[in-house]
Amino acid sequence: MNAPRNEVRIIAGRWRGRRLRFPADAGIRPTPDRVRETLFNWLQGDIDGARCLDLFAGSGALGIEALSRGAGRVVLVERAPRVAAYLRETIAQWDLRGGEVQQVDAQSFLRSPGWHFDLVFLDPPFADGALEPLLAALAQSRHLAPGARVYIEHAARDGLPALPPGLEPWRSKRAGEVGYHLLAWEGSA
């Protein structure tokens, strides 16, 4: 039996098998299980204690999966008030220590000072055309720690967007209509 469209399960770690149930009508497109499984296999040695940023949190699946697998801190950025409230409730109910929600749009967050991340999940809505400008803003933001990894997801038909200086492709794959990549930050903080 298929899971409801507004539900996604945590694949591994402390909360393995638990299901995130997000608002059904919020336009959220969670990263599919098989894509998350591949991503976290790529990151296997980099998650424990990592500082992570989930820049378009939506369902929270990427950030909460990272916490489940041992990330030290995850900031979930979500601009929609109702979705941000759902994420806060989930963090409280599941006692997700190290999880924090920032209700703000991605560009505004990237302009804020004082945050450095080892891993960034960047999965904006495909139709917005926001990925390339967001990558440029992220690279200029000084939020990336030395050696950081940046995960991006996009419509496979669009191909890998132009990358700003300092970000290089490290791993790439496609699952149906989804193209996904793990980028390596070679710039400075």
Report residue 21's pLDDT band, with 50, 70 and 90 as the boundaries. Answer: confident
Q: Where are the domains of the chain?
A: 7-185
Report residue 1's pLDDT band, with 50, 70 and 90 as the boundaries. Answer: very low
In which element (H, E) is residue 9 found?
strand 7-9
Closest to 15 measured CA to CA, from 52, 92, 59, 68: 68
Q: pTM score, two decimals? A: 0.92
Given a contact cutoff of 8 angstroms between Cβ atoms, the answer to whether 110 and 133 are in contact is no
For the stretch 123-170, pLDDT in tens is: 888 777 789 999 999 999 989 999 999 999 988 888 899 999 999 999
User: How is residue 136 written in tokens?
Assistant: 């440029």
What CATH number is given for 7-185 in this structure?
3.40.50.150
Burial 138-163 (b: 16+ CB within 10 A, else e): bbebebbbeebbbbbbbeeeeeebeb
For the stretch 77-96, pLDDT in tens is: 999 999 999 999 999 999 99
